[in-house]
Amino acid sequence: MHEMSLCEGVLNVLEEQAVTQGYSVVKRVWLEIGALSGVEPEAMRFSFDAVMKGTLADSAQLEIIHLPGEAWCMQCSKPVQVAARYESCPECGSYQLQVTGGDEMRIKELEVE
C-alpha cells in the first residue's frame, strides 16, 4: 500500500546524497527492513522499479536485508524473537512483551558510480 511512498522517500535520499557524496548513478541499494515495520518486501520490490524509472537509480538492484522482530519478555527476563506484534513469547506464552527491535526501515548502503 504505502510502499510506493516509501520508495519515493528512498529516491529523495538518493538524490540528496548524490549531491553531497558526488555520484550520478546508483547501481545497487541495500535496505534494512524489520519484520515489524509493516513493509511488505514484495510490494517494495514492485514499487522500487516503478519509482526509480528515469531517475539516477534507473534499473538499480534492490537488496533487502530482513531483520527479525525482537522483544523483551518480562516473564522470562530475556530477549526473544517474534514474527508479529500480536505474538506471545515463544518460550513462556506470555503477552508481556516489549518490542525492542524489528521496526527498522533504513537505507543501509549504496553501490554508486
Binding site for another protein (CB under 8 A): 1-2, 5-6, 8-13, 15-17, 21-25, 27, 31, 36-38, 56, 84-86, 95-96, 99, 105-113
Output the smallest distance, CB 97 to another protein, in A: 9
Q: How many residues does the chain have?
A: 113
Nearer to another protein, 27 or 78 (CB): 27
Q: How far is CA 20 from CA 15, 16, 24, 36, 112, in A?
A: 9, 7, 11, 31, 13
Nearer to another protein, 23 or 46 (CB): 23
Nearer to another protein, 45 or 108 (CB): 108
Output the smallest distance, CB 90 to another protein, in A: 15
Output the smallest distance, CB 78 to another protein, in A: 18
Q: How far is CA 17 from CA 8, 11, 22, 53, in A?
A: 14, 10, 8, 18
Q: Which residue has the cell 525492542?
A: 100
Nearer to another protein, 10 or 80 (CB): 10
* 24: number of Cβ within 10 Å: 8
How is residue 97 written as a grid cell? 512483551
Output the smallest distance, CB 84 to another protein, in A: 7
* 64: number of Cβ within 10 Å: 16
